Structure 1
Amino acid sequence: ILIDAPAEPITADETFQRLSSFNPDIAVIETSTGSISTDIRFSEEIKIRFSGCFVCLVGNHATACDIETLKQSKIIDAVARNEYEATIVDLAERIERKESLENVLSLTWRKGDEIIANSHRPAATQEELDTMPFASEIFKRFCDPKDYFFSAGRYPQIMVYTGRGCPYLCTWCVYPQNFYGHAYRHRTPQSIAAEFKYIEENFPEVVEVTIEDDTFTVYKNHIIEICKLLVEQKNKLTWTCNVRADLDEETMRWMKKANCRLVIVGFESGSNKILALMKKGMRVERFKAAENARKTGLLIHACYMMGNRGETLETMHETLELAKKMNTDTAQFFPLMLYPGTEAYDWAKKEGLITAKTWDDWLTPEGLHNTVVGTHDLASQEIVDFCNYARREYYLRPAYILMKMKNILKHPSELRRTVKAFFTFQKYLFNGKNKENKEIFDKKIENIRKTNPDSPGNGSISYSESMDELQKADANN
């Protein structure tokens, strides 16, 4: 049995009722940093209600803080670190045979009063990834696509993974550093195309596939081969994926042929200084993805992050000005989210910049992600307030509204998604606090422009040739 309680959503009591009909021998609990205290209390309740049930925690937080997590509870049995499919299978077989857990790789477990961290398990190979069931097959048995919504995606959709790991070194990104590693291992194109066909045949309500790989387009030839197979099998599902900010036009043309609708691009910052400090491996001058997407007819969801090492009000303003020039179909502005096991977390902790006292502080009282870090120049709340300001400044521009109207005329199916997304996010655009933020940051930015005539927005800085090309592509569309 698999239960995604927050997605359905169901309460803890309803979850326990469902478990009662199953009476589990092993319970595997997904954890996160902000919810770890609640996860532990829930896991302890399982131990109490289901005598003899072996409880194992998994996830990024449990991986980074395995021993600490087990010390927080005296009755939770184990943590399966990193990729855990093979670890859980090995664990279940040994429990069934009543064998020792000493040789279960990547398991941190309790042996009496002692906590033991077993040796690390090598990451799954391409061949092993190909032999695993499709994520969509598991989804078919236990989940409902209508319980999941991504504002930039069509609805309903389903999410899949075609590979694990990412070769890039971004300081804040938790999965490559703490979970899957930096070696990108992908399924074969044949396996990926087969899953698209499976979804098309078994989920008549689903209209889109979101590929959740950290960076789907690592290997150009691999992507083109996938696209050729999707074209061959006359794939009808639209799809989205995460791409690098310098993705080339040829790859995008193949993606468009294979029914890709939208690319998610992590531009992150408009400041080369900040890009270097976050180890993005990219400069603003190489940002070609938006230009190439427009040439090929793909939509773009842009991601921008505020509050990284070295961030100031001026560099955040550079990022906002870059976003306006990009003028992508959708954009998100988020403060840096710190997670244990990342270089960004280690930096902030060393510099004494983390404001949280406990893991509970990683969530707001409403259950949303909380910003628990500032910089040497900015308080954490100022970073949050600027993100809210940037969101309002971006979406309420006449140039953006005109572009959206053109897109809806060209892609009528976008109307439903746009309306649904608007009603989801309008409360963040029009509340009174954001109006106050606008007045405050308008004054601060005006002061930057007066004291630094070369600041972005004064017309004296050319971001790159790609910005000029992007504007030409806009005009042609």
Structure 2
Amino acid sequence: MRIAISYPPIINSLGQKAMVSQNRNVQFFKEPTYLLPVTYAQAATWLKQDGHDVLWDDGNAQLKTYRQWLDDLVKWSPDMVILESTTPVMKFYWRTIDEIKSLLPNTIVAMTGYHSMRMPEETMQACAADLVIRSSNVDFVLHRLVDYISKNPSWRLTCPLEGLHIRMRDKEIRSTGNFRQVEPLDSSPLIDRNLVKWRDYGYENGNFLQTPGTYATSVIRDCMFGKCTFCRYNGPDLTFSLMSVQRSLDEYEDLINNHGVKEIFDDSGVWYRGKEAREFAQGIIDRGLHKKGCYFGINTRFEYLDEETIKLMGKANFRFVLLGYEAADDETLQRLNKGYQLQHVENCLKWLTKYGLHPHLTIMVGYYWQTQQQLDKTVSEVKRLMLSGLARTLQVTLCTPLDYTPYHQECIKEGVLLTSDYDDFDMSKLIVKTPIPHDQYYKAVREMYGIAFNPLFILRQFRFLLNGRKRDWQFLFTYSVRAIRRVRQHMFNLTRHEGVKTAEDLGAVS
């Protein structure tokens, strides 16, 4: 079969592109960030190994217009098109699916992604999609499904695979129940980097200090914690699967030695901890990969890595460590079910900094309960951590209820959502009622991103040069030039609704 795994370019009225791949919080950026969708890259690789003709069709990363993308897809005439989407662009995808089906009526169009996973009937009713794949393990499902379809013309009636919503010939929808929650990740192939044109994603990414960089095949899918109420990885239908350490090390060795990769980031919801984390770092050292000039990065949680593990990671040339900080008050952390205590934050950051790693904090503002006092505390603590050198970079976002997560459901229950229009969920403005005017949160975003231009912060970066580490020189003299344009972009995106004075948009709870 001819299978296209497709990402149509989506551009808003400001000329910004939607960053859809990897199914995280979709935002529109003028300065592009191209993210390799790892699970879908594994799916493409597996289908190719199964003998199918696979088109890796990322219109964003391949710099196509929508019309170019669609014309090329129609010309290639696939038997099946796989799309990945999420809340802010659902209406766009429904229109696009109908257009594909009008031009390619015999092509099977499958929708995937966390929104459709949780609302499959909605997508089936809103467009002409042939099926919805409800599993986050898209690679495993497609490996089984495409083989079945290729051998069974009556697959709509007979397909026994779990986790599908299938459109029948008479327009009825057939559900095959829940999907398999855990899959053996070692069975899914490591990504064929040439097939997915990995260099298209190797440069425009703020996570990379050195380029070309790439994303590793995730060692954890989805998240071993999986309890944060705002996160897509939370839900009764989700758990996690784990890849073996040695297999991941094999991939790192191949990426460095055979592809010339200069930075590798593992975007697992949360990376290894404990024994596996130490085994991985030691494996990097034992294979001599720490001497190849490549940096390594991960997502982790406060309290997941002890000093012994962090010391070993520093020796293994780990650099970028992303930590969800979210807020600096205990009430918010408890309501978000973050599962860590603020008293442990500083020790973790001290260890990371001590051993030469670059901690990156992710913060959110605009929770529907967040008071001025709580907001001020978060801003104050973020400033302290950044100006003291305990954290090197940060990312601030507006807390947007996502994809029928527990936080989204809670907002609906509490009656605090200001809109039900999916187009408004693009993280460019607050869409919940709050105790204080929305402008206060936009001001906080501006203030935290403004730390990058604070003379004390810049002076601290010069002081890091005394450590004699190459990465600190790169951070100050190379990365900072690229980072400034992204900081300005984020400030614009997240504060452009500042000053709106209608009662609804202010969202203040009376």
TM tier relative to shorter chain: 0.7 to 0.9
- 1:356·1:372 contact (CA, 8 Å) conserved in 2? no
5 Å-filtered alignment, 1:362-401, equals: 362-363=425-426, 369-380=427-438, 382-392=440-450, 394-401=451-458
Q: Which residue of 1 aligns with 2:337?
A: 279
Letter in 2 for 1:342: T
> Residue 152 and residue 404 in structure 1: after superposition, are their counterparts in 2 closer, same or farther (change >3 A)?
farther
1:382-461 correspondence runs (5 A): 382-392=440-450, 394-407=451-464, 410=468, 411-414=472-475, 415-426=477-488
Paired with 1:34 and 1:24, the residues of 2 have a C-alpha distance of 27
1:296: which partner in 2? Answer: 355
For the pair 1:153 / 2:208, whether they are aligned, the reply is yes
Relative to structure 1, the CA distance from residue 429 to residue 33 in structure 2 (aligned partners, 3 Å threshold; closer, same or farther) is: closer
> How far apart are the structure 2 equivalents of 1:37 and 1:202?
41
| Structure 1 unaligned blocks of 5 or more | 364-368, 438-477
Give the direction of change, closer, same or farther, for the CA distance of 1:384–1:77 in structure 2 (3 Å limit): farther
TM-score normalised by the chain length of structure 2: 0.77
Distance of 2:140 and 2:109 partners within structure 1: 16
Contact 1:277 1:310 survives alignment (8 Å): no
One-letter code of the match for 1:335? L
Distance in structure 2 (CA, Å) of the matches to 1:430 and 1:141? 35
Question: Which string of whole-angstrom CA distances, capped at 9 and with x for unpartnered residues, describes residues 92-119 of structure 1?
Answer: 2232221334422110121223222211
Instruction: Please state how far the C-alpha of 1:168 moved relative to its aligned partner.
Output: 4.0
SS in 2 for 1:105: coil
Aligned pair in 2 of structure 1 residues 430, 100: CA closer, same or farther (>3 Å)? closer
Partners of 1:245 and 1:361 in 2: CA distance: 32
Asked if 1:311 corresponds to 2:370, the answer is yes
CA deviations over 1:22-63 (Å, ceiling 9, x no partner): 321011111111111111222222212223100000011111
Which of 346, 354, 358 is residue 417 of structure 2 equivalent to? 354
**Structure 2: how far apart are the matches of 1:54 and 1:330?**
44
Deviation at 1:405, TM superposition (A): 2.2
- Which residue of the partner structure matches residue 447 of structure 1? none
Partners of 2:491 and 2:140 lie apart in 1 by: 45
Match of residue 267, structure 2, among 212, 220, 236: 212
Q: 1:429 to 1:78 in 2, by over 3 A?
A: closer
Call closer, same or farther: CA 1:230–1:91 in 2, change over 3 Å: same
| Separation (CA, whole Å) in 1 of partners of 2:256 and 2:327 | 37
How many matched pairs? Answer: 420
Q: Does 1:188 align with 2:244?
A: yes
Distance 1:428 1:81 in 2: 32
8 Å CA contact retained: 2:358, 2:392: yes
One-letter code aligned to 1:103: P
Q: Cα gap change, 1:10/1:407 in structure 2, threshold over 3 Å: closer, same or farther?
A: farther
Which residue of 2 is the match for residue 223 of structure 1?
277
- Indicate whether 1:177 and 2:177 are aligned: no
What are the Cα deviations for residues 278-329 of structure 1, in whole angstroms up to 9, with x where unaligned?
1111121121321111121111111111122521121111111111221211
CA deviations over 1:191-237 (Å, ceiling 9, x no partner): 00001011113322x310111011113x3101111111111111122
- Partner letter of residue 176 of structure 2? N
**Backbone CA RMSD of aligned residues:** 2.3
Structure 2 residue corresponding to 1:242, chosen from 289, 299, 306: 299
Q: 2:310 aligns with which of 228, 252, 261?
A: 252
CA–CA separation in structure 2 for the residues paired with 1:89 and 1:324: 48
Within-5 A mapping of 1:98-137: 98-101=153-156, 102-111=159-168, 112-125=170-183, 128-135=184-191, 137=192
SS in 2 for 1:297: coil
**Residue type of the partner of 1:238?**
Y
Q: In 1, are the aligned partners of 2:297 and 2:321 still within 8 Å (CA)?
A: yes
C-alpha distance in 1 between matches for 2:207 and 2:465: 14
Q: Verify the 8 A CA contact 1:168 1:281 in the aligned structure 2.
A: no
1:285 partner letter: Q
CA distance 1:9–1:147, change in 2 (3 Å): farther
Aligned to 2:29: none
Cross-structure match for 2:220: 163
Which amino acid in structure 1 is aligned with residue 344 of structure 2?
R
Tell me how far 1:428 sits from its aligned partner: 5.4
Q: Kindly tell me: are residues 178 and 32 of structure 1, through their superposed partners in 2, closer, same or farther at Cα, counting changes over 3 Å?
A: farther
TM-superposed CA distance for 1:87, in Å, is 2.0
Tell whether the 8 Å contact from 1:66 to 1:108 is kept in structure 2 after alignment: yes
**Counterpart among 116, 135, 154 of residue 62 in structure 1:** 116
Judging changes above 3 Å, is the alpha-carbon distance between structure 1 residues 324 and 381 closer, same or farther for their aligned structure 2 residues? closer
| Alignment check: 8 A CA contact 2:417 2:433 kept | no
Deviations 1:380-408 (A, max 9, x none): 5543343123322x223332111122335
Deviation of 1:4 after TM superposition, in Å, equals 1.6
Partner of 2:130: 77
- CA contact under 8 A between 1:177 and 1:341: conserved in structure 2? no
**Is the contact between residue 161 and residue 176 of structure 2 (CA under 8 Å) also seen in structure 1?**
yes
1:262 to 2:320 alignment: yes
- Between the aligned partners of 1:262 and 1:306, the Cα distance in structure 2 is 23
Q: Counterparts of 1:54 and 1:119 in 2: how far apart (Å)?
A: 20
TM-score (norm 1): 0.82
| Equivalent position SS for 2:447 | helix
Aligned equivalents of 1:79 and 1:427: distance in 2? 34
**Structure 2 gap segments, 5+ residues each:** 1-54, 500-510
Q: CA deviation at 1:379?
A: 4.5
